[in-house]
Amino acid sequence: MRAFKSWYEDAGVRVGPRRRPGDDLDKKFFPEHLIPHLGHPLVQDAPEELRRYLSAQHLYQWLNFTAEFEVAVVMRATQQIADGRSGVPLARELRRDAMRICVDERYHALYSVDVVDLIEDSTGIPSLPYDFAPFLAHLDGVGDSYPQHRELVQLLQVVVFETLITSLIEDVPKDPEVMTVVRDTVRDHAEDERRHHAYFAVFFKELWAQLGSSERELVSRLLPEVIIRSLQPATQAARAALGVAGFSAAHTDQIVAESFDRTSVMAGIVVASAKTVALLERCGVLDLPGARERFQNAGFTTVR
């Protein structure tokens, strides 16, 4: 497709430089407004060094999450598309583009952990162990009652995730207070993802056109939860970092509960998924009987 015409000249894996920490390591690891627990009163009053530690861990967990997600979720489904096993007949060039996406995602996974390693070495702040398994189990759990549709659920996961636009991708590259290696890494990633976004918008149209009425009904039932589970912030890493930083178990519980409250989490999900929901709207997903109400009941307040 057109978005991939200049892949050999533009893709990060083809032409991007390796990003390394520079001489601005005194800058922030991550924009503070994107670290929910950092704004909590108990954390706001903490010494600066401790807040820096929490910021570093937040960056690490995001990079570690990205590295795992790209391979376990994005490549899992995209490889099926590339191999012609997705159940959606696609022209050869579109299957090759899916293979190019797999190459991109593998590279994103590599540089995500590479940046963790380099920042660890430069700052001396070690990354806490990261466990992706609970997130993946929760995400895949959407389809647990429909084992015969496991591949379909995996395709929905990738369509949703690849068409989301998180504030993180938007805000980090522009934030002059954040260290350059982090801003450059996120910018590199966002540039490749723009291509992927275009691809998966086309792919979803093709997928939807293939589905029979009972599968369409199922898809419209599953999608709100797939979106929510894709974007729900994992609190486990914040919890671990707060513990190591010296907060008591009771304070950690309080900070996490109050920083990741349902209302603000859902508000963030609605914003990040606006483009995805618009795609579903264009394809007619919300026109199925009851679909609009299901999105509204799940908390998608912008669906009318």
Q: Alpha-carbon distance 159 to 80, whole Å? A: 13
Binding span for Fe ion by CB under 5 A among 33-41, 80-88, 144-152, 190-198? 190-198
CB of 74 to Fe ion, least distance (A): 6
Binding span for Fe ion by CB under 5 A among 89-97, 105-113, 114-122, 273-281? 105-113
Instruction: Check if the beta carbon of residue 135 is closer than 8 Å to that of residue 234.
Output: yes
Residue in the shown chain whose Cβ atom is closest to Fe ion: 196
Instruction: Scan residues 158-177 and list those touching Fe ion (CB under 5 A).
Output: 162
Paired tokens of 275: 């483009």
Cα angle 295, 190, 95 (rounded to 5 degrees) comes to 80
Q: Alpha-carbon distance 252 to 44, whole Å? A: 14
CB of 116 to Fe ion, least distance (A): 16
For Fe ion, the binding residue among 19, 40, 58, 196 (CB under 5 A) is 196
Among residues 127 and 185, whose Cβ is nearest to Fe ion? 185
Q: How far is C-alpha 257 from the chain's CA centre? A: 22
Instruction: Check if the beta carbon of residue 233 is closer than 8 Å to that of residue 36.
Output: yes
Q: Is 19 in the site for Fe ion (CB under 5 A)?
A: no
CB of 131 to Fe ion, least distance (A): 21
What is the tally of helices (H) and strands (E) in the chain?
16, 0
Binding span for Fe ion by CB under 5 A among 170-178, 194-202, 265-273, 290-298? 194-202
CA atoms within 13 A on the CB side of 219: 27
Q: How far is C-alpha 173 from the chain's CA centre? A: 16
For Fe ion, the binding residue among 58, 108, 195, 294 (CB under 5 A) is 108
Collapse the DSSP code of 277 into the 3-class scheme (helix H, G, I; strand E, B; otherwise coil) and give the result. Answer: helix
Among residues 62 and 247, whose Cβ is nearest to Fe ion? 62
Binding span for Fe ion by CB under 5 A among 48-56, 101-109, 207-215, 228-236? 101-109
Distance (Å) of CA 248 to CA 73, 125, 238, 259, 260: 34, 21, 13, 16, 18
Collapse the DSSP code of 211 into the 3-class scheme (helix H, G, I; strand E, B; otherwise coil) and give the result. Answer: coil
Among residues 156 and 255, whose Cβ is nearest to Fe ion? 156
CB of 132 to Fe ion, least distance (A): 15
Q: Alpha-carbon distance 78 to 158, whole Å? A: 8
Binding span for Fe ion by CB under 5 A among 46-54, 191-199, 250-258, 294-302? 191-199
Instruction: Scan residues 20-79 and list those touching Fe ion (CB under 5 A).
Output: none
CB of 69 to Fe ion, least distance (A): 8
CB of 210 to Fe ion, least distance (A): 22
- Is 67 exposed, middle or buried, given 0-12, 13-18 or 19+ CB atoms closer than 10 A? buried
Binding span for Fe ion by CB under 5 A among 79-87, 97-105, 215-223, 270-278? 97-105
CB of 299 to Fe ion, least distance (A): 25
Among residues 102 and 242, whose Cβ is nearest to Fe ion? 102
CB of 26 to Fe ion, least distance (A): 29
Collapse the DSSP code of 183 into the 3-class scheme (helix H, G, I; strand E, B; otherwise coil) and give the result. Answer: helix
The binding site for Fe ion (CB under 5 A) comprises 105, 108, 162, 193, 196
